[in-house]
Structure 1
Amino acid sequence: MWLDESMQWRGTSSGKRGRSPTFSDAAIQFCLSIKCLFGQPLRQALGMVQSLLQLAKLDWPVPDFSTVCRRQKTLQVELSYQPSKSPLQLLVDSTGIQFLGEGEWKRKKHGAEYRREWRKVHLGIDAQTLEIRAIEVTSNAIGDAPMLPELLAQIAPEEPIESVCADGAYDTRGRLDAIAERQAMAVIPPRKNASHWKKSSPGSAQRNEAIRACKRLGRSIWKKWSGYHRRSLVETKMHCFKRLGERVTARTFERQVVELHVRVALLNRFSQIGRPQTVPLAAMA
């Protein structure tokens, strides 16, 4: 672990009325990252941050518990990623993170309690770099398909999207139209009893073509031909996401969203430093 001495640790003037913040957003995000990375309570994580600063011989002050807890509610987490050299191939799926109730072992052993709730995390990852490019956090009452337009909106309009791969839960007219408006190919298996749509919507042509291909070639061959099995990469990323914790520790929804965004920032950083960089060598004489 290393600390960049050029990082803006202290807060700067915002130009608004009132006292300027003592610590920058980068400092608050660093403290929350240490908490999330090592699975510690916030007070113990701040003590570890103080020890790291002392080892790095930096005279930076450490924010107290109340400051970090208050700033976490409105923190804008910086999500870094490396842009792909080719058009984006987006893989979409969702998973649940528990925040209220007992774990799965107690549910199987003694039965489920009445108060058990999850936060639903909707992810969109780049199939080439395996970095998370879009994230939305909702309650467990929200389905998968309604959040696809919000995930696509997080991708810059000038960045081309080649394909969007998702499971059959996203086989709805509104979701396919949203993909077609981004001029991307929808790799979504149609329902087994699916019927052709009228060509009044933008996404009907791709869906009708998928139905014809499934009837002519079979669903298994269509999945291999269309590259649908790449969707397993997002399942692997969700496993990595849950390795940072099976539940969220924050109490309010705003702080839970920030906590989950910090996880995404950590995973993207892991992907960046863990990916090998290949350099072509000149032909030897």
Structure 2
Amino acid sequence: MPHKFNAARRDKITKQKQRVTNWSEHNEGLRQRGDLTVWISKDALGLWSAPPRTIRGSQRKYSDLAVEICLTLGVVFKQPLRQTQGLMRSIAGLLGVEIAVPDFSTLSRRSSGLTLRATQKPGGGKLVHLVVDSTDLKIFGEGDWLEEKHKTKRKRRSWRKLHLGLDLVSGEIVCCDLTKDDVGDPTALPDLLDQVDGPVDLFLADGAYDGEPTSELLATRFGSTIEVTIPPPKNAILSPNAPKDPTERDCHVAEIAARGRMAWQKATGYNRRSRGETLMGRWKTVIGPKLKARNFENQKTEARIGVRVLNRIIGLGRPSFERTA
């Protein structure tokens, strides 16, 4: 909620009560999240070895799919690469299949710039209601305690910024990017929009994306009819052409001045942006608040795999709610 309205009396506001209407399906989906057969299939094992090379050079032993499976299991079970190798080796033994398991150094080397297998993109060309948000993920390095206690300067950056785009219709992540912490949200937006497969008619984001560059970019990519809902700052003023040709931002500024920000949120549906914040919380709960990889390219691969894991989990079933009070 922008500017934390009602923060002083938030504890006195009665929370909404809702109930799940598809509990049996959702309950089964929760069980399947722990089923290893979801992550490893016979087809995957059949494509374990790398195809023969047709050009000069040494022959690879493992396919990209084999490396991706190992890294995916490492992300799901929050295991370092050595433990991931041991986990995959034990799974191969339980399945009774004779496959060579990549060692941890191979997983680290192949993770850099790994091409993930082609899958059907979330949305599949359908209409997308896009919510974009970002969060910080901690990486290897001295922690905040050391800097605060001893007033030392960190040897390396200790954060990466994860940018995610959520489709409100399907509930899946349709775009993602991992950048260094000095990259702003509007700067990362063009690369995110390049990944969206389908027309976007609604764009929701927080005040960090406010400005003409974002509006012009969205209009160029998806047409002038796209509905852009970004809260303007408190000191926002109307543009010089507002009396004759008001922009969508001018309409937001005028409505907030006339009815208040809370009424504007309800009228525009901006409260739906909270699902983007919920996605960030789900990421840090399921995937984790830290990145295990130490190389930036490996960290980007880890982030892309994390997106596929969350989309796979969402595909197993989502709860449907209805308000009761």
Shorter-chain TM-score: what band? 0.7 to 0.9
Paired residue for 2:268? 226
Contact 1:99 1:248 in 2 (8 A): yes
Q: What's the TM-score once normalised by structure 1's chain length?
A: 0.87
Paired residue for 1:62? 101
Q: CA deviation at 1:199?
A: 6.1
Between the aligned partners of 2:241 and 2:41, the Cα distance in structure 1 is 55
Q: CA deviation at 1:40?
A: 1.6
| Equivalent of residue 178 in structure 1, options 217, 237, 251 | 217
After TM superposition, the structure 1 = structure 2 runs for residues 127-146 of structure 1, keeping only pairs within 5 Å, are: 127-146=168-187
Matched, 1:15 2:54: yes
Give aligned pairs, total: 272
Contact 2:147 2:153 in 1 (8 A): no
Residue 50 of structure 2 aligns to which amino acid in structure 1? G
| Equivalent of residue 89 in structure 1, options 129, 133, 136 | 129
Between the aligned partners of 2:135 and 2:150, the Cα distance in structure 1 is 22
Paired residue for 2:311? 268
Q: Deviations over 1:147-184 (max 9, x none)?
A: 1122111113xx11111100011001111111122122
* Percent identity for Structure 1 against Structure 2: 35
Residue 120 of structure 1 aligns to which amino acid in structure 2? K
Between the aligned partners of 2:192 and 2:159, the Cα distance in structure 1 is 20
Structure 1: runs of 5+ lacking an equivalent = 278-285
Deviates more, 1:52-61 or 1:81-90: 81-90
Contact 2:142 2:158 in 1 (8 A): no
Q: CA deviation at 1:144?
A: 1.4
Between the aligned partners of 2:124 and 2:319, the Cα distance in structure 1 is 15
Contact 1:129 1:271 in 2 (8 A): no
Q: Deviations over 1:234-258 (max 9, x none)?
A: 1111112112222112111111111
| Equivalent of residue 5 in structure 1, options 42, 48, 51 | 42
Contact 2:125 2:199 in 1 (8 A): no
Q: CA deviation at 1:54?
A: 1.8
Between the aligned partners of 1:179 and 1:217, the Cα distance in structure 2 is 27
Residue 42 of structure 2 aligns to which amino acid in structure 1? E
Paired residue for 2:295? 252
Instruction: State the structure with bigger RCO (CA 8 A, min sep 6), 1 or 2.
Output: 2
Q: Deviations over 1:173-226 (max 9, x none)?
A: 1111111221221110112221223569xx972212222222222211111111
Between the aligned partners of 1:252 and 1:204, the Cα distance in structure 2 is 47
Structure 2: runs of 5+ lacking an equivalent = 1-35, 321-325
Q: Calculate the aligned-residue CA RMSD, in Å.
A: 2.5
Contact 1:146 1:175 in 2 (8 A): no
Between the aligned partners of 1:134 and 1:198, the Cα distance in structure 2 is 35
Paired residue for 1:149? 190
